[in-house]
Structure 1
């Protein structure tokens, strides 16, 4: 069902994992999609799967010049934006007492600074009724040992959405968070060992980990007109682990 027909969507961190699944779902729902990633090789692989109707732009969301180039490409090729998914993010295992300045700067640079300026620099291109979606995490309220700094960045993301929602009326957009639980993706598999993933699975009321496609389905809802009165919300797509 083409619920995003004629909409232009930007998905940062769209070359793999949840971002790639969101880009695929948006494409299938009729949107014109732009994806970003830091590695051209990964973007080339994503485009080989998604097709040439999806545009890839090499972009590090923590670098403002890269974001300027991204939105200039969007302006030239599409002229406006209807959906922004600030999905680019990183995770680093940084145990309490051993956190380095480089780890701190990298996590907050991509996950928080990148989110702030991905959204801020999109504002001039947003059409009335636009949907802004931030990728959060159940870690924002349920941090795992070693991931406290990562969790803090995601808590910041959740609060950014709540704060920005106050501006949504004047600027004619909606802003929400999609908050995944533990979803096996390349990034997660590098970050969380098999034993921890198995232990975490036993705490999930649905009894299993999520799939990228399930998070993408939630993002399609938030991007669509079906969510036209949903604003400032955190949509948990976590099997219930953060809710009960």
Structure 2
């Protein structure tokens, strides 16, 4: 038996990387998982790979109508919602002197407004004792050059987790956040291209005390823990998943 048998979960940004690994792990623990993301072909392939325990609903979390379609599908299943992993995020990078309104909107539109809408619109469906997990980043704390807007948006996500945990505790709903460090995901390749991405990832790995990038399934394990009753006394916390990058 899995730790989430009979539960219903939603994972945003689930077509690849951390979101896909989390959806796979939650399904392996017994949950029926609704996957959402903007890339329909990849999302459908992800759901097909998981099997009958997965339902794909294509959409953009920054668009309220897309989230309405997602939660209508969850509602139609008739079992409410027990786990929400608000994972979808965006990263646009520029130094202060070159940052544009587009850079701002891309970072805050998805990472903050999209996270807000993802959780807010789920509220009527969340069962008592549900778990909400927000995906932050250790970059919120380290002041890397060119990461200002992205880091600020992820700092906002961390702050929202604290506040929402306090606001929803009366319903027994736990809200926590995770802060992944340098994780091996396809996102870097899409943004930088294969050659530049390899050099960038090699540089990241040098800054991780254990000497390598993290794997999406290692983040997924933490998500499954926070989704389950094993973390029943954890409210408003943040879990760094960083290979020691921020610990030493």
* Shorter-normalised TM range: over 0.9
The aligned counterpart of 2:204 is 200
- Give how far 1:185 is off: 0.7
Q: Secondary structure at the match of 2:98?
A: coil
**Stretches of 4+ moved more than 4 A in 1?**
none
Question: Which segments of 5 or more consecutive residues in structure 2 lack a partner in the other structure?
Answer: none
Deviations 1:117-172 (A, max 9, x none): 11111111111110000011111112432222111111100010011121132122
Q: Secondary structure at the match of 1:92?
A: coil
- Give how far 1:43 is off: 1.1
- Could you tell me the TM-score, scaled by structure 1's length? 0.96
- Give the distance between the partners of 1:143 and 1:130, measured in 2 at CA: 34
Question: Which segments of 5 or more consecutive residues in structure 1 lack a partner in the other structure?
Answer: none
The aligned counterpart of 1:149 is 149
Contact 1:13/1:87 (<8 A) preserved: yes
The aligned counterpart of 2:233 is 229
The aligned counterpart of 2:4 is 4
The aligned counterpart of 1:59 is 59
Aligned length: 244
The aligned counterpart of 2:41 is 41
Contact 1:8/1:78 (<8 A) preserved: no
1:188 aligns with 2:188: yes
Contact 1:132/1:173 (<8 A) preserved: yes
Contact 2:132/2:175 (<8 A) preserved: yes
- Give how far 1:191 is off: 4.0
- Could you tell me the TM-score, scaled by structure 2's length? 0.94
Cα RMSD after superposing both structures: 1.4
- Give the distance between the partners of 2:60 and 2:166, measured in 1 at CA: 28
Tell me which moved more, 206-215 or 181-190: 181-190
- Give the distance between the partners of 1:214 and 1:130, measured in 2 at CA: 22
Superposed counterparts of 1:107-122, under 5 Å? 107-122=107-122
